[in-house]
Amino acid sequence: MADAAQTSKPTWVQRLRGILFSQEGILLLILLGVIIVLAQQNPNFWTVRNLLNQGRLMSEVGLVALPMTFIIITAGIDLSVGSILGLSAIVLGVLWKGAGLPLELAIFLALIIGSLAGLMNGLFIVKLDVPPLIMTLATLALYRGLAQGISQARSVTGYPEWFFIFGQGRILGLPTQLWLFIIFTILSIIILRRTTLGRSLYAIGNNPVGARFSGLPVGRNLLIIYTYAGFMSALAGVVFVSRVTTTRSDMGAGLELDVIAAVVLGGTSIFGGKGTVIGTVIGLVLIQLLKNGLALSGVTSDATIIVIGVVLILAILVNNFIQLKRTS
Amino acid sequence: MSSRLDPLVLLPLILGIVTLIIYQFAPFVIQPDLGATSIPTLTETRSNNEFGVTTNGLILIRIAAGAIILLGLWTLTNNQLSRAAAALTALAGILVLEYFVVFWRDYAQEGATYLSSMGFGFWTLLGLGILMLLQAAIPRPAVAREFQLRSLAANQESAILLALVVLIVTIGIASPRFLATRNILDILQGNAYIAVAAIGMAMVIITGNIDISVGSLIGLLAVISGRLVVAGAPIWLAWLTPLLIGALVGLFIALIVTYLRVPSIVVTLGMFSILKGALILWTNGQRVTGMPEGFYLAQMKPFGIPMSILFMLVLTLLAALWMRYSGAGRSLYAVGGNAEAARLSGLSATRVVIMAFVLNGVFAGIASVLYATQLQIIQATPPPALELFIIMAAVVGGVSILGGKGTVIGAMLAAILLNMIRSGMIFIDFNVFYLQAITGLLILLTVLIDLIRRRRQMV
């Protein structure tokens, strides 16, 4: 039967079924349901103003969730992204205010430092075979500690007006960081679907030894995606500083859990080898809209994290159940 | 494997126990007018005690004896380590003797005639110190060829113990106040609950799973315990309820992990949010105060030892023995090491994983009671990143994140080490803002040492 399905072209019913019962399809249905319920609950929810604002708030987690999708597809994980965000924010603030560098250069250097921090994760994971969970657990503490040490727990404020464009401004009606997020999302989709680098990530996640023996540059590709994660965390840091107009060393604490929740909710398997960027984006939007809708309905933000926890577990359960039905 | 136990292997262990007993209970000084006085009289600061003796060395005796006992017990499970235990015993002997040297130096300065009034404990401890030093020279034919300095670093536990000793001595030299009994006890006491939670975490990680929700769980259970007793429930109920609820939460997680096949990292990530949200929602950020007098379990001191330290040591010991010698305990390693082989040999992985998570919940419950009762108030939010700290303790202690490897003794030692570093840094006026960076570096270091060791074993 499997052969028959492969040789003959799938009918549109089969195609539709395939789309519907994929993780993304299910998530999309859940998302639609959530939107309908929330829109009926509160008239302020389904307004352009509110939705754009949510897009603004979502972008920082979103920027980091893109490389995290890559990493989790390779069966790795990066817990240090929140700390890299904090570290690059501090580097930005200290270089600009403390060292007196021009802000443009400080931003550039902050992005470099973030990328280097990611590269260091990658080097230990690739060259020394340290499990990613341990390595990034260590650098979670290390980078945050450096941020605190460099800043001496002092905050930096007084950024010039033009800098706020990243976090508070709009381009063509959309928040600036949403543009960044959209650009990098498209870039990530293309990388993951159309390049050998992207396709090799699945192979690495499914069978790292097999991938190496098939001549794939496993080490190099891993280095690239961990560096990418560092870079994106730093970028999110710059956006974060611009949005809240101040630099503090505890910025981005706990970000890693939000990011991983979005990626996993989006159907990326924590065991590797499976996942899409689209899924991550849907997961991200779902979490953000749930947070927002519940807040608009008068639910406190603390109660919303309960709902997100439940949704996370339920979404995985439903998906497991449906995948089980499909295979049997 | 040979099960023959060389009686000489027990020597360091016996010396350690005897030292501790003598130190704790034997009369140290016999004063004509007051009668026998035990050592605790001497442990006050120099200005307070009647001899005017520097007493920094005294705390070392207790630490050294405790370390020897731990290492000695664990030597019973690993014959190769008897030489390491002997070497460490000798090191402890030097520490004991160091105290007496200091005593005599000060005695000569004071010019008093206390020497004649020294009691049974004084001379026995002195003799023991010499014996501890000498026993390293006793030939142990059965294990003699294992006598290599490298064997000291042959496993994570002894490496951490060594790091702990080096750390204590270094910081002690830089700032002798660090070695004051009170300070050391404060450090151990304040963080014993982390070591207790690390026991359960070690079990979960050994089966190849992980629990990210444990920090939120401890926070929630602590508040439950406090609110129960404030609401008028009997104190024993307030102590036991967290254990029960912890076990239930563990069971719930385990059922989803095993029967519904959701990875534990995802389930506990979800539970992390759920429990944390529930806690904040329920308490509204209000901390719990006004618990009755008898509630403060962690502040009790049976035999002069703080209860939380007692809990930490006894629970670690029980868990270590259970995991080493009982079938159920060993099955944790079997499932984590090679699930397929475990299944083929008739072990139910489902049952073992459920057991690990339930036990983890119980240990989180005990940790929460210790946390709730150590101060007069219970915070509405648990310490930030508590779960990471607990996972770190387990991992630095040598528990392999891939499953199947590690011991709870290592986890406990690592928990102590991490806390010692934190407090020690403050004592030597290290820039406190870099504390976390040091912790991160330390984890990296232990991981690297572990890697080098594994490579050497493979060759």
Specify the higher pLDDT residue, A220 or A296: A220
Distance from CA of A318 to the nearest CA of B (A): 10
Residue B53: exposed, middle, or buried by beta-carbon count in 10 A (0-12, 13-18, 19+)? buried
Whether pLDDT at B214 is above 90: yes
B263 at the A interface (CB within 8 A)?
yes
- Asked if B55 and B46 touch (Cβ cutoff 8 Å), the reply is yes
Question: What is the Cα–Cα distance from A55 to A49, expressed in whole angstroms?
Answer: 10
Which has more confidence, B316 or B63? B316
Percent of chain B with pLDDT over 90: 15
CB contact under 8 A, B281 and A306: yes
Best mutation target among A142, A250, A310 (most B Cβ atoms within 10 Å) is: A142
State chain B's mean pLDDT as an integer. Answer: 77
Q: Give the range among A9-18, A252-261, B160-169 with minimum mean pLDDT.
A: A9-18
Q: How many Å is the Cα radius of gyration of chain A?
A: 21
Q: Which residue of B has its CA nearest to A146?
A: B437
Q: Taking a C-beta distance cutoff of 8 angstroms, is the pair B213, B357 a contact?
A: no
Task: For chain A, give the percent of residues with pLDDT over 70.
Answer: 95
Q: What 3-state class would DSSP assign to B51?
A: coil
Last residue of a domain, one of B114, B144, B174: B144
Question: Does pTM top 0.95 for this prediction?
Answer: no
Question: Which helix (H) or strand (E) is B363 found in, with range?
Answer: helix B349-373
- Helices and strands in chain A, H and E counts: 15, 2
- Does one domain contain both B386 and B240? yes
Asked if residue B49 belongs to a domain, the reply is yes
- Residue B157 within a domain: no
In DSSP terms, B273 is beta-bridged to none
Quick one: pLDDT at residue A63? 95
Do B260 and B140 belong to one domain?
no
Q: What is the pLDDT of residue B115?
A: 59
Tens digit of each residue's pLDDT (9 = 90 or more) over B26-78: 666 666 555 555 554 454 444 444 554 545 446 666 677 777 777 766 665 55
Q: What is the per-residue pLDDT across B292-308, written as a single tens digit (0 to 9) for each?
A: 887 888 778 777 778 88
Rounded to an integer, the average pLDDT of B352-369 is 94
Q: Is the pLDDT of residue B393 over 70?
A: yes
CB A221, CB A200: distance < 8 Å: yes
A124 vs B444: CB contact, 8 Å cut-off? yes
Q: What is the CATH number of the domain that holds B76?
A: 1.20.140
Residues of B in contact with A264 (CB under 8 A): 266, 269
In a domain, B168, yes or no: no
Residue B260 to residue A317, Cβ atoms within 8 A: yes
- The answer on B228 and B126 residing in a single domain is no
Of the candidates B124, B144, B164, which is a domain's last residue? B144
Query: What pLDDT band is residue B7 in, cutting at 50, 70 and 90?
Result: low
Q: Same domain for B95 and B224?
A: no
CA–CA separation, B340 and B238 (whole Å): 42
B395–A264: do the CB atoms touch at under 8 Å?
no
Taking an 8 Å cut-off on Cβ atoms, the answer to whether B262 and A317 are in contact is yes
Q: With respect to residue B212, please indicate whether it lies within any of the assigned structural domains.
A: yes
Indicate if B75 and B131 belong to the same structural domain: yes
Place of tokens 């570290």: A87
In a domain, B262, yes or no: yes
Domain range for B436? 191-458
Which chain B positions have a beta carbon within 8 Å of A82's beta carbon? none
Q: What is the mean pLDDT of residues A32-38?
A: 88
* Cβ-proximal residues to A89 (8 Å cutoff; 6+ apart), any chain: A110, A147, A237, A238, A240, A241, A247, A248, A249, A251, A252
Residue A137: band (very low, low, confident or very high) from pLDDT cuts 50, 70, 90: confident
Shared-domain flag, residues B276 and B390: yes
Size of interface A-B (CB pairs under 8 A): 135
Return the higher-pLDDT residue of A312 and A90.
A90
Q: Which residues contact A164 (CB under 8 A, 6 or more apart)?
A: A242, A245
| Residue B351, domain CATH | 1.10.3470
- The verdict on B290 touching A (C-beta cutoff 8 Å) is no
**Which of B32-46, B336-350, B399-413 comes out lowest in average pLDDT?**
B32-46
Nearest to A138 among B263, B266, B444 (CB): B444
Please tell me the distance from the alpha carbon of residue B176 to that of residue B11, in angstroms, as a whole number. 31
Within-domain flag for B132: yes
The three-state secondary structure class of B37 is strand
Q: Which segment, A309-313, B300-304, B388-392, is predicted with the most confidence on average?
A: B388-392
Contact residues, chain A, for B444 at CB < 8 Å: 124, 135, 138-139, 142
Interchain contact A313–B (C-beta under 8 A): yes
Using CA atoms of B120, B126, B127, B131 in order, give the dihedral in degrees to the nearest 10. Answer: 150
> Looking at the domain assignment, is residue B205 inside a domain?
yes
B62/B125 same-domain check: yes
Query: Are B216 and B339 in a shared domain?
Result: yes
**pLDDT attached to residue B41:** 47
Do B133 and B256 lie in a common domain? no
Residue A257 has pLDDT above 60, yes or no: yes
CATH entry 1.10.287 includes domain A31-327 = no
Assigned token pair, B171: 């910081």
The answer for B 354-413 residues in CB contact with A (under 8 A) is 384-385, 388, 391-392, 395, 401-402
Chain A segment 227-256 residues within 8 A of B by beta carbon are 253
Answer with the residue of higher pLDDT: B394 or B63: B394
Number of folded domains that form chain B: 2
**Whether residue B288 is found in the same domain as residue B367:** yes
Burial class, A15, CB count within 10 angstroms (exposed 0-12 / middle 13-18 / buried 19+): exposed
Q: Which of A312, A318, A322 should we substitute to test contact with B (largest number of B Cβ atoms within 10 Å)?
A: A312
Partner-chain contact B436 A148, CB within 8 Å: yes
Residue A225, pLDDT > 90, answer yes
User: Is B433–A260 a contact, with Cβ atoms under 8 angstroms apart?
Assistant: no
- CA pair distance B389, B383, nearest whole angstrom: 10
Q: Identify the band that residue B193 occupies on the pLDDT scale cut at 50, 70 and 90.
A: very high
